[in-house]
A and B are shown apart, each in its own frame.
Chain A
């Protein structure tokens, strides 16, 4: 177990280093720079700017300096918003994205699982058709269209909810729905097919033969087994959703982290590009790691063992 953990952590660090290196190289090879503008500045001024941000150091030195700061958990200042460090940007943006993401995950888990189980139990009845039609719809409508539609109807037409910005619970409703639509649909379909499969299994028949109540069969034997694919998907979903969505955050004017993934690249804000990439990758790998651990808790057949024991 200890060795397994050690191996995983080493892999994560190696992967992070690789990601940083590749991002660093690609980032510096695309045209443009953080101080490019339509109005050209005199060379003296360009020189002063580059001097200040060490952009005229050799690339190798910039790379080593970056790694050096990173080891001390210092992601550097943003080049565009110089009063904000990348650490600040993540510290301010991540909780917002994570709140919105958690709400969306909670919504999609509750609604998606429920819809999936009901569809499976009432296969080919109207409940099943309704749930699957809705799922297909939310699956195929892109989030920017859904966001726009939600805002148009609930904020503009009905004037029920605020159209944008962040801070009150009313403001969280529309973006949560926009963000949750796709995962809800996915979970519902995943759960439905997995549940249908499980319900065909012999051990369900055995349970029925033993005369267990339908509730126990569905919940303890059915759902617990059928939920495994959802757990796998959850690891992906958590990172995807908690770290924020550019589209939803920009449409609803939410000060989350998602927007920075895109904005920083458009700005060529080198430190922010690297910073959010590192944070994103670390978070992704950590979540995958946690999901692997979670399997052990959910599925008694899976055990963490060191390779030599196998």
Chain B
């Protein structure tokens, strides 16, 4: 017994000695209240190497420290960043960026060669970047990434230190927006080649953005301070930024209420009803859609009448008002609000709704399909990944179908990875899904459902649809592109391999003295470049 106690004590002394270091730092944090924002990104980043990062935490943290060729402003307009200006050739294929005199935090100039190096690095097959496909618009990029082409044949060239030329495969109006995206951020060649783990240590994280990293405590927080070498430092008012990496949403909610966080990017849905009327709660738009997939390779969902009947018998208004309660909008089309159409107006507003809930019509369609009043309807299951809200939505829809159509379906929750696996193997009847855009263009939604597309996952195929998507993709003419996409969306909603349920919102809690934090609707990150505390 004595020995055990002794061993325990030694062990305790040993570990205690190792954990007292941060006390001084914590008290220091409390005293500097001015121009400090504390924000929770809800997870430890998987990496901070822009070439390899994919997730929201990674991208959000990198955005504070790195500046790409361009940057989105508060109105989701693309504004010059490291690129001072640019030229797009008549055919929409060649982009020439003129870089400004910007510096890395180690004093090196940011050059066109840095961009060429960084993008080719992300494309190199041995880098194995998950987001390498974000570069596939560039000529020769996909071939290089798949090992079929040579590095030299990628359409990327530094004409001189300050001029970068990019050649695309086909006109892609979304390309400019991508240059503000994390995968397109530059890295400092010297630093990266000297130390493959450069991004894991604040000391070696050489950056060209508004903030630089001071410390990184894994699964706790990342502390940043203003980068005095940033080209636009005069417009950065914030002195310090603390990014917390806390996963548990209840914990982060408690920390916010306790005054330890200034901004909460994600709120547990069950807190929302109690927060109604709270001035710190802001319901921001979110250009994402919540929908159900039908497996059209299985009976009875191979029959469009059945799919339509089910879609028309869901009360979407009740769903958002009494189940979701977060200000979501019922969806009667697939592409969310928030994307510009050819004339500058909103794509969704121009497109309007493609269907309406209609019980009589739904019953009629079901009877025509051979299941009058739901009689003889085969056993079917709604599959969703384990999460309270998905469960509630599924239960509500289960009841609506029972009541409105006389159909019995079962609901089944499965673990995330099992859900992904079964969805891609078409091993389901009806599956819950959500989609948020990769870039600021309706194409990010429309091209999901081309025949055999990796994100189709319904087994649905339509030649006319494929043709329209192809047309839109091969022209730079916004009018033709948008018209094709509207037509394609109409086909999608007529055929209904998926039924949209609602467009998401993004509820955040933000202290009222925080100003100019940019949280765009197309990706729920936050940009603190222009932010300040009043």
Max count, chain B CB within 10 A of own CB: residue among A48, A80, A105, A231: A48
Query: Does B260 sit within 8 A of A, measured CB to CB?
Result: yes
Interface membership of chain A positions 155-191, coded 1 if the CB is closer than 8 angstroms to chain B and 0 otherwise: 1100100111111100000000000000000000000
Interfacial residues of chain A within 219-260, with CB under 8 A of chain B in the complex:
224, 227, 231, 234, 238, 242, 250-253, 255, 259
Contact indicator A164/B251 (Cβ below 8 Å): yes
- Complex Cα spacing A99 to B424, Å: 44
- Complex Cα spacing A80 to B44, Å: 11
Contact indicator A44/B258 (Cβ below 8 Å): no
From the candidates A105, A164, A291, name the one contacting B246 in the complex (CB within 8 A). A164
Interchain Cβ contacts within 8 Å, total number? 174
| Chain B nearest CB, measured from A237 CB (Å) | 11
- Complex Cα spacing A148 to B221, Å: 22
Contact indicator A45/B19 (Cβ below 8 Å): no
Contact indicator B254/A266 (Cβ below 8 Å): no
Contact indicator A99/B220 (Cβ below 8 Å): no
Contact indicator B2/A297 (Cβ below 8 Å): yes
Q: Please, which residues of chain A bring their CB within 8 A of the CB of B136?
A: 42
Contact indicator A99/B4 (Cβ below 8 Å): no
Query: Does B271 sit within 8 A of A, measured CB to CB?
Result: no
Contact indicator A49/B128 (Cβ below 8 Å): yes
Contact indicator B254/A102 (Cβ below 8 Å): no
From the candidates B18, B19, B254, name the one contacting A164 in the complex (CB within 8 A). B254
Query: Does B161 sit within 8 A of A, measured CB to CB?
Result: no
Q: Please, which residues of chain B bring their CB within 8 A of the CB of A203?
A: none
Known: A36-B417, A151-B254. A96 touches B19 (CB 8 A): yes
Contact indicator B422/A31 (Cβ below 8 Å): yes
Q: Please, which residues of chain B bring their CB within 8 A of the CB of A250?
A: 247-248, 251
Known: A81-B47, A164-B255. A51 touches B128 (CB 8 A): yes
- Complex Cα spacing A166 to B247, Å: 14
Q: Please, which residues of chain A bring their CB within 8 A of the CB of B3?
A: 294, 297
Interfacial residues of chain B within 1-35, with CB under 8 A of chain A in the complex:
1-5, 7-8, 11-12, 15-16, 18-19, 21-23, 25-26
Contact indicator B455/A40 (Cβ below 8 Å): yes
Query: Does A41 sit within 8 A of B, measured CB to CB?
Result: yes
Contact indicator B8/A102 (Cβ below 8 Å): yes
Known: A42-B454, A44-B142, A162-B260. A156 touches B54 (CB 8 A): no
Q: Please, which residues of chain B bring their CB within 8 A of the CB of A45?
A: 128-130, 132-133, 145
Known: A45-B132, A163-B260. A40 touches B454 (CB 8 A): yes
Query: Does B218 sit within 8 A of A, measured CB to CB?
Result: yes
Contact indicator B1/A297 (Cβ below 8 Å): yes
| Chain A nearest CB, measured from B456 CB (Å) | 9
Q: Please, which residues of chain B bring their CB within 8 A of the CB of A32?
A: 416-418, 420-421
| Chain B nearest CB, measured from A39 CB (Å) | 6
**What are 23 contact pairs spanning A and B, CB under 8 A?**
A31-B418, A37-B54, A40-B454, A80-B46, A83-B199, A95-B19, A98-B11, A98-B15, A102-B8, A102-B16, A105-B8, A109-B5, A148-B250, A151-B254, A155-B258, A156-B257, A166-B19, A167-B217, A231-B1, A231-B4, A253-B220, A255-B218, A255-B219
